[in-house]
Amino acid sequence: MRSVKLPSGNEMPVLGLGTWRMGEDERERGREADALRYGLDLGFTLIDTAEMYGEGGAEEMVAEAIRGRRDQVTIVSKVYPYNASRRAAIEACARSLTRLNTDYIDVYLLHWPGSVPLEETFAVFQDLREAGKIRDFGVSNFDLDLMQEARQSDGGLTATNQIYYNLAQRNAEWALLPWMRKQRIPAMAYSPFDQGRMLGDPALVAVAERHGATAAQVALAWLLEQEAMVAIPKSSSQERVKENHGALDLALTDEDREALDAAFPPPSHAAPIEII
């Protein structure tokens, strides 16, 4: 598995296992944990989760999946904006650590912008880092103006910005991603299939057919060939995990890229990034 380097010098795999909308149903947790374990067996070493997912249920499910294999896994989790003040963030992190059954979180993110001053949030993130509770910290759903604000108080250590980015949602390409690359901050793309809406697009299907691949694999390959980019598709079944893993071996051609750009045009003007 290829990796990207974070500002701290730590590394993050380019393709991970997402857990959004997992851990919500006790009856499904065993199957979901099995899918993550299967991913670990295939070579996935990145799992993305959040205290919001299943109100902690996803973190508990991740703990079940990685039992006995913690040292093989990079865990990303996220804190609610209303838990991003000094005292609340310390308590929220402690709860996540308990649910994950671990002593540390590899990358701890502010889930989306909130009312707590970023300076306060980053100060407590740095305290958590110094205490060994987290190894890196970052943000999610931040557009360029907020990333620039964050840069003023992050000590140069913002590890990543997790954003809604895929072939159908490309506003980040206008200004946000170029700025992040200059700052050497990798991006994490969530919902890489646009919640499945793009997968029936004729151009995407045609590219997939040329390669003997699936539309989902092409969508992931398009992301993974970009500089400093990580993709975290939801992975709740072994079949989907195996399909996603296949994207690592798919190399797109110039003809493919031109066809995809024609079907999913890059932005022609500045516009806010989308958030879901």
Catalytic residue IDs: 53
Mapped onto helix, strand or coil, the DSSP state of residue 274 is coil
DSSP string, 16-83: -EE-TT-SS-GGGHHHHHHHHHHHHHHT--EEE--SSGGGGHHHHHHHHHTTT-GGG-EEEEEE-GGG
First to last CA, the chain: 28
Q: Pairing mode, if any, of strands 187-190 and 229-231?
A: parallel
Phi, psi of 99, rounded to the nearest 5 degrees: -65, -40
